[in-house]
Chain A
């Protein structure tokens, strides 16, 4: 036996050892169970948690754009879920049943798999939720189950990343939905039913003008401070079982308000009863702005006249709580109504409905009125008619709109953006028109 042979044997041994110790090793598992076993266990755990709460779950959803909505879910063990939501008055009052499913979609997931109140936020038809067409409010109804604690479950939407928090509800929470406490809270939106343009809230002797946008859920307070200056504060709000909560607390100067408690809506008098820091007060209509913007009518006229532009409104006049009160939209091919300052330079303006032409590719004026605006020292604009561009109809929506414009007491103007104004009747603030600048 020579050295070479020893070497060969050594090499062969070495190779065998490599086989023995490497090939024979079982693969490492970080977990004792297989992925399938673990996902089934997780799904079972979530299912028994969801169905285990007799009074259901309080759900809070924060959509992609930051709006907060509350839900109440009751899951049963046959894939059915019953729901309340603070989305609107109906969803807060009537429970709706739909279906749900727990499914493994890479992670354990909770799917609300037929239409429910939750889907109203996601509906791509903006007419349902006031969001954007094709997206809705960018909310989810398919959620990954992130974590499970004794009385709370965290979930994340699988498409838009909406955060949903489920907290075990008490019987009192459930009752608050059932006996209409949330519906009372949602009565806050009734302040849009106050027929006056101006809505006022009195807190500690100070009047605040309140404007709400119930689609984006934002509220704006306007008031006059000690120095006589107009101040404004805007915040988004969300609902709780007792009232509305401001996303940013409102510092009035003398106190900080976290929200308003909503007591009741008095439909007969169009008054919303609320409590501010425990003190009862009301939100009701007002006929005049807190502080009249004296130069607004002239600014409004001049903005268009100096740029050669004009003011338009698609909806026409809003009167006594009715949008498009004179039914302009019923005129065939109606597009918008125009007020054109200095239409005939130095002489008269133009007020007329504008139509889409027969070919459908342009606009046309068929007739018009020739008013003139005069501005009073107390901040109103009064319109008088000097004549017509015939044939102006003697009745119907166009004539009724003109008659409204020519209201002898005239209008206050509220500037809502650099290129938009609301023109509000100075008699009772129950008639107004929103005008946008086109130039």
Chain B
């Protein structure tokens, strides 16, 4: 009796397990699996040969909304702008670092993905964002369609604002990567301690400088302050940075005198220079000269 009972149960179990689905190893041809594909053009080949093969840096110039803010109206870049922009990026950012610190250094630490957009990223308040970066890996450059350097017809000095902002963004983000790999000196955070604020957006660059910050954005946190110091010093060059420091006059609303502000900026400058030497064995002033000369060749 008991045996029969068990047999019936067994039968039921067999029925249960015999119900297996078909071979799970048969997988459909999933559309888009492995990334987007398209017929390669000369532009794709140039990007591959110039950036992917030597440095493993990918450039995404075709539209992919998922790489950008989903709630913004942004358009993709004009194809004819991609090579001039990436060529300038190479001359102003990659080449100086490679010459100064070597290829191995650059390959190891460079961000690996550039995403390009044709228009700016318009914010609700009417301001525009010209560059963003994520996690030391991806840099988004905007406003490619307005990019002009002095080799292009119809270039006027006013056109330098867009490329200069691009170079600023890239150097800023790369400074973050270096900072996150070998941390900036603790003393740096103490130089203008106490004034860092999330409300930096309501400050202009000049007022920030009166307190010893190189830009308004530098007010947002010590980490951003460091990246802003590095990028402004590089893109403005030594004399440009000196001009910024010397332009400070008067006493800030927070009570910092011009002399104090200047001293603080100078102190940050020397901390940055020492950091580059000690952490990366890079002579900052030579690097600065290379970057600034590249920008001058590009824009002036």
Do B75 and A124 touch (CB < 8 A)?
yes
Contact with A along B25-51 (1 / 0, CB 8 A): 000111110001011010000000000
Do B62 and A19 touch (CB < 8 A)?
no
Do B118 and A115 touch (CB < 8 A)?
yes
Known: A24-B19, A113-B63, A124-B119. 6 other contacts (CB 8 A): A8-B5, A16-B9, A24-B18, A34-B28, A37-B29, A124-B122
| Chain A neighbourhood of B123, CB < 8 A | 134
Do A115 and B75 touch (CB < 8 A)?
yes
Do A133 and B39 touch (CB < 8 A)?
no
Do B78 and A114 touch (CB < 8 A)?
yes
Q: Which of B9, B32, B38 has the most CB of A within 10 A?
A: B38
In this assembly, does A79 line the interface, its C-beta being within 8 Å of a C-beta of chain B? Answer: yes
Do A101 and B16 touch (CB < 8 A)?
no
Do A115 and B120 touch (CB < 8 A)?
no
Which partner residue on chain A sits nearest B71 by CB separation? A159
| Chain A neighbourhood of B193, CB < 8 A | none
Contacting A16 at CB < 8 Å: which of B12, B38, B62? B12
| Chain B neighbourhood of A104, CB < 8 A | 31-32
| Complex Cα gap A359–B5 (Å) | 97
Do A114 and B39 touch (CB < 8 A)?
no
- Interface stretch among A54-62, A135-143, A247-255? A135-143
Please give the number of chain B residues whose Cβ is less than 8 angstroms from any Cβ of chain A in the complex. Answer: 42
> Do A40 and B31 contact each other (CB < 8 Å), given the known contacts A99-B38, A99-B62?
yes
- A13: min CB distance to chain B, Å: 6
Contact with A along B216-243 (1 / 0, CB 8 A): 0000000000000000000000000000
Which of A59-89 touch B at CB < 8 Å? 77-80
- A143: min CB distance to chain B, Å: 12
In this assembly, does B15 line the interface, its C-beta being within 8 Å of a C-beta of chain A? Answer: yes
| Chain A neighbourhood of B59, CB < 8 A | none
| Chain A neighbourhood of B104, CB < 8 A | none
Do B1 and A5 touch (CB < 8 A)?
yes
Which partner residue on chain A sits nearest B74 by CB separation? A124
In this assembly, does B84 line the interface, its C-beta being within 8 Å of a C-beta of chain A? Answer: no
Which of A5-59 touch B at CB < 8 Å? 5, 8-9, 12-13, 15-16, 19-20, 23-24, 34-37, 39-40, 43
In this assembly, does B254 line the interface, its C-beta being within 8 Å of a C-beta of chain A? Answer: no
In this assembly, does A1 line the interface, its C-beta being within 8 Å of a C-beta of chain B? Answer: yes
Q: Which residues of B line the A interface, CB within 8 A? A: 1, 4-5, 8-9, 11-13, 15-16, 18-19, 28-32, 36, 38-39, 41, 61-65, 72-79, 118-120, 122-124, 126, 145
Do A141 and B79 touch (CB < 8 A)?
no
| Complex Cα gap A318–B12 (Å) | 93
In this assembly, does A98 line the interface, its C-beta being within 8 Å of a C-beta of chain B? Answer: yes
| Chain B neighbourhood of A288, CB < 8 A | none
| Chain A neighbourhood of B124, CB < 8 A | 134
- A302: min CB distance to chain B, Å: 36
- B248: min CB distance to chain A, Å: 18
Do B8 and A103 touch (CB < 8 A)?
no
- A164: min CB distance to chain B, Å: 16
> Do A9 and B4 contact each other (CB < 8 Å), given the known contacts A40-B31, A114-B63, A124-B74?
yes
| Chain A neighbourhood of B77, CB < 8 A | 114-115
| Complex Cα gap A408–B107 (Å) | 75
| Complex Cα gap A210–B120 (Å) | 37
Which partner residue on chain B sits nearest A98 by CB separation? B79
- B271: min CB distance to chain A, Å: 34
- A19: min CB distance to chain B, Å: 4
Which of A202-226 touch B at CB < 8 Å? none
> Do A115 and B78 contact each other (CB < 8 Å), given the known contacts A9-B5, A124-B73?
yes
Grouping DSSP codes into helix (H, G, I), strand (E, B) and loop, the A interface class, with mixed when no group exceeds half, is mixed
In this assembly, does A125 line the interface, its C-beta being within 8 Å of a C-beta of chain B? Answer: yes
Contacting A101 at CB < 8 Å: which of B36, B74, B145? B36
| Chain A neighbourhood of B63, CB < 8 A | 111-114, 141-142
> Do A115 and B5 contact each other (CB < 8 Å), given the known contacts A15-B12, A101-B36?
no
Q: Which of B4, B30, B72, B76 has the most CB of A within 10 A?
A: B76
| Chain B neighbourhood of A36, CB < 8 A | 28-31
In this assembly, does A195 line the interface, its C-beta being within 8 Å of a C-beta of chain B? Answer: no
| Complex Cα gap A115–B181 (Å) | 37
- B252: min CB distance to chain A, Å: 16
- B188: min CB distance to chain A, Å: 33
Do A23 and B62 touch (CB < 8 A)?
no
Do B120 and A12 touch (CB < 8 A)?
no
Closest 8 CB pairs of A and B: A16-B12, A134-B122, A78-B39, A36-B28, A113-B63, A104-B31, A115-B78, A113-B62
| Chain A neighbourhood of B122, CB < 8 A | 124, 133-134
| Chain B neighbourhood of A37, CB < 8 A | 28-29
In this assembly, does A399 line the interface, its C-beta being within 8 Å of a C-beta of chain B? Answer: no
Do A20 and B36 touch (CB < 8 A)?
no
| Complex Cα gap A80–B124 (Å) | 34
- A127: min CB distance to chain B, Å: 10
Q: Which of A15, A34, A124 has the most CB of B within 10 A?
A: A124
Which partner residue on chain A sits nearest B18 by CB separation? A24
| Chain B neighbourhood of A99, CB < 8 A | 38, 41, 62, 79
Which partner residue on chain A sits nearest B28 by CB separation? A36
In this assembly, does A261 line the interface, its C-beta being within 8 Å of a C-beta of chain B? Answer: no
Contacting B15 at CB < 8 Å: which of A5, A19, A135? A19
Do A23 and B16 touch (CB < 8 A)?
yes
Do A16 and B8 touch (CB < 8 A)?
yes
In this assembly, does A123 line the interface, its C-beta being within 8 Å of a C-beta of chain B? Answer: yes
Do B15 and A16 touch (CB < 8 A)?
yes
Which partner residue on chain B sits nearest A79 by CB separation? B38
In this assembly, does A122 line the interface, its C-beta being within 8 Å of a C-beta of chain B? Answer: yes
| Complex Cα gap A24–B17 (Å) | 9
| Complex Cα gap A108–B1 (Å) | 61
Do B29 and A40 touch (CB < 8 A)?
yes
Do A141 and B19 touch (CB < 8 A)?
no
| Chain A neighbourhood of B145, CB < 8 A | 115
22 A-B interface contacts by CB (under 8 A) = A12-B8, A16-B8, A19-B15, A20-B12, A23-B15, A23-B16, A24-B16, A36-B29, A37-B29, A77-B39, A80-B39, A101-B62, A103-B31, A114-B62, A114-B79, A115-B118, A119-B76, A123-B75, A124-B74, A124-B120, A133-B122, A138-B73
